[in-house]
Structure 1
């Protein structure tokens, strides 16, 4: 017999004591049969027949609020579980992961990339690697992010550096896809100098330090454009360098990268030999100059980016001086030393000006005693020059307009107490040099040369020791210009013409002394002719129009404007022989130095044979033959 729950109306089995649907206890005695057949009653015509009906189920008992809430919560949970499962399955799918990856790249969202990217070997991609990936050029990123399905996975086709593959599960049930990167490895090859220590970082992440080693290995990294920062340290300075390091290899092997820091071993060089230069100072280290050389020993390695500065130091009789700070920027680094303090520079300038004024007076008065500020050796040299002027019947008139000194280009010669200071100088005159019988015709004249100063340590003063001419204009700009007095001095004629002529006028025969004096005068005038490029100094020693006259005229005028200087050291007559009634053969020994424009000095040792003749009571040189010629570099 079927029965129903009196609370919810759910069908029940006969032996059940509780409703399996709502849990209501079942009262078996209270149960009434359902659908029992009706008892037949007598049928009377005058009474209607009444049918017995099945009684309706009892009314359902209302659910409590707690029951309703529980039912609602269960339904929500069921819907949420089903919905979440669907959403997660879609969110972590390969297609969705690819879309989210492209969106993060487009938005330059490094943090988002770290949540969806991993390297093939399982190493998580951190933010600095993601940033390096985003720094790749846009066209490179476009190539990498073109995906195509291969063997069930999405692979970047143009550059196979990325793939989208399952990578773990979500809630242990749903497949999670990730962007898998091909790992990048790099081998940094270093200079092998043992004196340098290295430190490296990629995008700010340290790769550690290294000493004397050939290479440093690093990886794995995500493909990207990294900023490689390198620090190189030595005893002499530190260099920090940055460069881009692009890693986009699909080989999964180490990529070689050679570190070439802007460092090198350095030699410091002075523009001139300066044996007084003691050392170069770098970060407290004193680097000596090689003995009697303008260069130091090789030191380093040193940064060549100007971050390290040095000073050169030298000790002279007039004091210890040093250069200004010099930034190191090349392997052969020039340095210059200030040879004078500001006070000494002014002192030397005034001394040079006084000396130049005194030379004008000495020339005009033909008296070397006017040279007050020169050394005794210089005064003697001036006396010889003036004597030569008198003998050649030459006169001088002029004035000093100004002097220009290039103290920045000064140099020091000699060593210790014998050191002398040499300064390029430009002396500006208004002057005329002429024969006594000739009219004066003064004009502007600039004498370029070198003023040499000696120092008296006992007195603590400088004096002019020499002035040597330079037959070309200095390229260095003057840094000290002083005005002259512009006082005009004029020579007083001296009757020396007859004396000069007597030296050349001889009888049909000449004594050995006459010939020796003739040769000595020729050599002296020849030195002037060569240095002044003026044939007129020696033209009277040759017969006009002769072959040797033309030869020496052409030779003296063949010198160009390149600087040179002849310095005759010895001219000696070794023998005189009369070879005919009016002819003589004179043998000589000659020694002179030739200074060229590249600061080279060559010494010539020669023997010559001069053939002289007497014509119209005048000695002439008819021929000069070279006997021996030895040349050595000084």
Structure 2
């Protein structure tokens, strides 16, 4: 054999060997079971970039975030991993047996399924890939009109009466789904982490509950304004309106504030942590209490002078209506020739008994208890007799109203003889 023939024979043998190698290489690259091995290896070695090269989706491209989520999920859940691998191996085997088989609509497949490519590898071999399903995810929340956000982007508005909002189509992965309800007084929000890796076609609804309460507010002043987080909400306690919806986990605060002619009183600011809150406003300052007690004493001390003189004009700090009543009484005394002698000996007013009542937006009354010690006597001028005065003592409740910038007594009545507190102001004769 000549050298030339030897070269030709060697080249032919090499071509045969190369063709055989390429044939087996093509079969190796297109082998479906090897595809599953590469899939499993990328999970075990936590290699999302290698996994990404194996994935496709009928709708749109697959990005690295999706591959990372699958690696994390299957890497953390051994049972889910085995379930997916078992299905993929079965699918590959069935595809190799039946070239017309498709799992795109198979309700038993996982979120990733085996798929035969339309084009053959090197025009010879059946080739396979892993495709991802997409899903419509139902989302519900308990506040109709709440905004639903998907990974920080608004995806829709929740309907009323618990209707469901469909998100998607979404690829398998991990998603942050948030509901936000912008109420009149505060914003309710909650976020849940949804893992979308179903085995089969069923997708569990995602519930994003919002915690919002309606709070009843009470106070000893129905005209007090309500503040939420330091802001006047334009409602008074007496409006009787429930405040809400609002988060009652202590993250919001509530207080009330009332205006009086002698100043503004504000309650402490409390965290909202329940459905009911009560406030007791300390409306009367120490200075105002002194003014009330002094006004009541001025009336009491002038009482004896007015009776002695039978003249209602001698009365001080008295309401005009009561002054007219006493003027009529004194006229009757004059007509009947009835006289009075007496004087106040001591008046003790209980500061702790002061109770304020607001009758209208600018109508205030306050009551105070006092122990009055006196001496007095009545007689008729027609008789030549002047009696000795007799000492007496009584506990009286005085009610005063605030008018024209000052307090005036408009009502008085005998009170029980219950002991006064230690916080008293004493007026001696």
**Contact 2:262 2:288 (8 Å CA) reproduced:** no
State the shift of 1:210 in Å.
1.7
* Partner in structure 2 of residue 113 of structure 1: 51
Q: How does 1:304-453 map to 2 (within 5 A)?
A: 304-330=248-274, 332-336=275-279, 338-339=281-282, 344=285, 371-374=347-350, 413-415=357-359, 416-420=362-366
* Partner in structure 1 of residue 234 of structure 2: 286
Equivalent-residue separation in structure 2 for 1:250 and 1:304 (angstroms): 39
**Contact 1:280 1:288 (8 Å CA) reproduced:** no
Equivalent-residue separation in structure 1 for 2:142 and 2:169 (angstroms): 24
State the shift of 1:279 in Å.
3.6
- Is the helix fraction higher in 1 or 2? 2
- Say which SS state the counterpart of residue 286 (structure 1) adopts: strand
Equivalent-residue separation in structure 1 for 2:31 and 2:136 (angstroms): 30
Tell me: CA distance 1:336–1:94, structure 2 relative to 1, closer, same or farther (3 Å). Answer: farther
Equivalent-residue separation in structure 2 for 1:205 and 1:290 (angstroms): 41
Equivalent-residue separation in structure 1 for 2:279 and 2:34 (angstroms): 70
* Equivalent of 2:139 in 178, 182, 188: 188
Tell me: CA distance 1:122–1:418, structure 2 relative to 1, closer, same or farther (3 Å). Answer: closer
* Equivalent of 1:179 in 130, 142, 155: 130
Equivalent-residue separation in structure 1 for 2:251 and 2:264 (angstroms): 26
Find out whether 1:142 has 2:81 as its counterpart. yes
Equivalent-residue separation in structure 1 for 2:132 and 2:207 (angstroms): 25
* Partner in structure 1 of residue 179 of structure 2: 230
Tell me: CA distance 1:78–1:345, structure 2 relative to 1, closer, same or farther (3 Å). Answer: farther
1:459-488 Cα deviation digits (max 9, x unpaired): 69xxxx999989xxxxxxxxxxxx99xxxx
Tell me: CA distance 1:123–1:205, structure 2 relative to 1, closer, same or farther (3 Å). Answer: farther
* Partner in structure 1 of residue 63 of structure 2: 126
Tell me: CA distance 1:206–1:83, structure 2 relative to 1, closer, same or farther (3 Å). Answer: farther
Equivalent-residue separation in structure 2 for 1:77 and 1:411 (angstroms): 113
Find out whether 1:165 has 2:115 as its counterpart. yes
Find out whether 1:152 has 2:94 as its counterpart. yes
Equivalent-residue separation in structure 2 for 1:336 and 1:208 (angstroms): 42
- Say which SS state the counterpart of residue 205 (structure 2) adopts: strand
* Partner in structure 1 of residue 314 of structure 2: none
**Contact 2:365 2:399 (8 Å CA) reproduced:** no
**Contact 1:314 1:321 (8 Å CA) reproduced:** yes
* Partner in structure 1 of residue 153 of structure 2: 206
State the shift of 1:76 in Å.
11
State the shift of 1:198 in Å.
0.5
For structure 2, the residue ranges without an aligned partner over 5 or more in a row are 97-102, 294-343, 369-397, 424-429
Tell me: CA distance 1:100–1:9, structure 2 relative to 1, closer, same or farther (3 Å). Answer: closer
State the shift of 1:79 in Å.
8.9
**Contact 2:141 2:158 (8 Å CA) reproduced:** no
Equivalent-residue separation in structure 2 for 1:315 and 1:421 (angstroms): 20
State the shift of 1:100 in Å.
1.9
**Contact 1:313 1:322 (8 Å CA) reproduced:** yes
1:547-590 Cα deviation digits (max 9, x unpaired): xxxxxxxxxxxxxxxxxxxxxxxxxxxxxxxxxxxxxxxxxxxx
**Contact 1:317 1:419 (8 Å CA) reproduced:** no
Tell me: CA distance 1:149–1:267, structure 2 relative to 1, closer, same or farther (3 Å). Answer: closer
State the shift of 1:243 in Å.
1.4
Tell me: CA distance 1:318–1:181, structure 2 relative to 1, closer, same or farther (3 Å). Answer: same
Find out whether 1:215 has 2:156 as its counterpart. no
- Say which SS state the counterpart of residue 103 (structure 1) adopts: helix
Tell me: CA distance 1:229–1:206, structure 2 relative to 1, closer, same or farther (3 Å). Answer: same
Length-normalised TM-score, structure 2:
0.54
1:43-78 Cα deviation digits (max 9, x unpaired): xxxxxxxxxxxxxxxxxxxxxxxxxxxxx9xx9999
**Contact 1:225 1:246 (8 Å CA) reproduced:** yes
**Contact 2:109 2:200 (8 Å CA) reproduced:** no
State the shift of 1:455 in Å.
8.8
State the shift of 1:102 in Å.
1.7
**Contact 2:133 2:172 (8 Å CA) reproduced:** yes
* Equivalent of 1:263 in 202, 206, 212: 212
Length-normalised TM-score, structure 1:
0.39
- Whichever of the two has the greater Rg, that structure is 1
1:440-459 Cα deviation digits (max 9, x unpaired): xxxxxxxxxxxx99896846
Tell me: CA distance 1:257–1:338, structure 2 relative to 1, closer, same or farther (3 Å). Answer: same
1:222-275 Cα deviation digits (max 9, x unpaired): 4455432333323332233121324454553564333321124x23312x4432
- Say which SS state the counterpart of residue 144 (structure 1) adopts: helix
* Partner in structure 1 of residue 32 of structure 2: 94
**Contact 1:317 1:455 (8 Å CA) reproduced:** no
Higher RCO, 1 vs 2 (CA within 8 Å, ≥6 residues apart): 2
RMSD: 5.2
Tell me: CA distance 1:456–1:166, structure 2 relative to 1, closer, same or farther (3 Å). Answer: same
**Contact 1:224 1:247 (8 Å CA) reproduced:** yes
